[in-house]
A = this chain, B = another copy of it.
Amino acid sequence: MTAPRIGVIGGGQLARMLFGAALDLDLAISFLVRPGDEGILGRAADVTVDDLSLGSLERFASHVDVLTFEHELTPIDTLKALENQGVCLRPSAETMAIAANKLAQRELFQRLKLPIPRFVRLNADTVFDLPCIAKAITGGYDGRGVRWINEASDLGPLVESDTPWLLEELLEVDKEIAVLTVSTPDGDITTYPPVRTIQRDGICVEVQWPSGAGEELEGRAQAIATAIARESGYVGVLAVELFVVAGKLYVNEIAPRVHNSGHMTIEAASTSQFENHLRAVAGLPLGPTNFTTPAVMVNLLGELGSLEGYEPPPNTRLHRYGKEGRPERKVGHITATAATVAEASQLAHRARDRICIHE
């Protein structure tokens, strides 16, 4: 039996790292990328540059066996139309419909009776405790589509915008953790050990394992993530982000794809999230998800200095995404491994200070 050819919608850094995993395993892989989203172009052999229209996706789907996603930008109606034509989507259109919509996510969490911050959908006459957080129901990521709301007058522009918004209570978050689940088409679900994620202005800047959240909270986080993956009929890697507030967990949100919180699984876990996502969508047995060493990942934001001046510190690995630098943009990351998180963090920051010239 030959493993199926996998088609990935998207061409950014997640696509590149999926490509690296496909290369090691010798899995056939193709990419559909929009003009301008071409990090994989000129790297992978099989890249189609086209829009996300139904026609484009039909053409792309016709030469692969299974479609998967590195972003949530494909219109859900298009995904449903493909599925009706018999195209195999992993995750499915229905799952993507939930994951790509912050309101649908919260309805799923409520169905599962999971603890979440209080929220309402924003209307012209919404009353909600202030200050609070406003989140765009669709399209937000990396701090985009999130607003801190201090006064009622801040809501006017949101009510009038084309995007629907929800308001969420402001929690005093002690720390944030993330759990990656991997689900097979048969419904087997496994999780990676939770990691700690550190955000700045809504953007993840650092990820650490061990998370330091303690065995009990970690176990509950894994159970929550597994329940979400199961209830949503997920296939592949699903990221679940959680808040820790006074020893209690709240589900923040989910991302239906390989995720920034899992990049260090390339160097520090038995199987990388990218390999396991490919294994899952290809219907192959999953690889073990244990970490093999404490590790820290730091994102490189903004602009990178040239490699000519960069001397890598020991026990660090640099990943450059081939993206043009601009403020707050993720253009690379560094993973460091060491005997402790503190040591790994120090190495990762030393590396970042050497390569990152503007943040």
Does A322 belong to the interface (CB within 8 Å)?
yes
**Are B306's CB and A288's CB within 8 A?**
no
Measured CB to CB, the nearest residue on chain B to A337 is B292
Chain A's interface size range is 35 or more
Chain B residues, CB < 8 A from A249:
none
* Copies of this chain per assembly: 2
**Are B290's CB and A322's CB within 8 A?**
no
**Are A308's CB and B288's CB within 8 A?**
no
Chain B residues, CB < 8 A from A312:
270-271, 285, 287-288
For A19-56 the 0/1 string (1 means CB < 8 A from B) is 11001111110000000000001111111000000000
**Are A24's CB and B307's CB within 8 A?**
no
**Are A3's CB and B314's CB within 8 A?**
no
For A150-188 the 0/1 string (1 means CB < 8 A from B) is 000000000000000000000000000000000000000
**Are B285's CB and A310's CB within 8 A?**
yes
**Are A316's CB and B270's CB within 8 A?**
yes
Given A42-B45, A320-B24, are A311 and B285 neighbors across the interface (CB < 8 Å)?
A: yes
Measured CB to CB, the nearest residue on chain B to A313 is B288
- A310 to B279 Cα, complex, angstroms: 11
Chain B residues, CB < 8 A from A42:
28, 45-46
Measured CB to CB, the nearest residue on chain B to A271 is B312
For A267-292 the 0/1 string (1 means CB < 8 A from B) is 10011000000010011110110101
**Are A314's CB and B270's CB within 8 A?**
yes
**Are A44's CB and B46's CB within 8 A?**
no
Does A16 belong to the interface (CB within 8 Å)?
yes
Does A293 belong to the interface (CB within 8 Å)?
yes
**Are B285's CB and A314's CB within 8 A?**
no
Measured CB to CB, the nearest residue on chain B to A41 is B45
Given A23-B20, A316-B270, are A1 and B293 neighbors across the interface (CB < 8 Å)?
A: no
Measured CB to CB, the nearest residue on chain B to A24 is B319
Chain B residues, CB < 8 A from A230:
none
- A27 to B310 Cα, complex, angstroms: 14
| A271 CB, min distance to chain B CBs, angstroms | 6
Measured CB to CB, the nearest residue on chain B to A347 is B270
Chain B residues, CB < 8 A from A119:
none
The 10 closest A-B pairs by CB, nearest first: A26-B320, A288-B314, A26-B322, A287-B312, A285-B311, A270-B314, A1-B306, A284-B307, A42-B45, A24-B319
Known contacts A25-B318, A288-B314; can you find 13 more A-B pairs with CB under 8 A? A20-B20, A25-B320, A27-B307, A41-B45, A45-B47, A270-B314, A270-B316, A271-B317, A279-B307, A283-B308, A284-B307, A285-B310, A285-B311
Which positions in A face B, CB cutoff 8 Å? 1-3, 16, 19-20, 23-28, 41-47, 267, 270-271, 279, 282-285, 287-288, 290, 292-293, 306-322, 332, 337
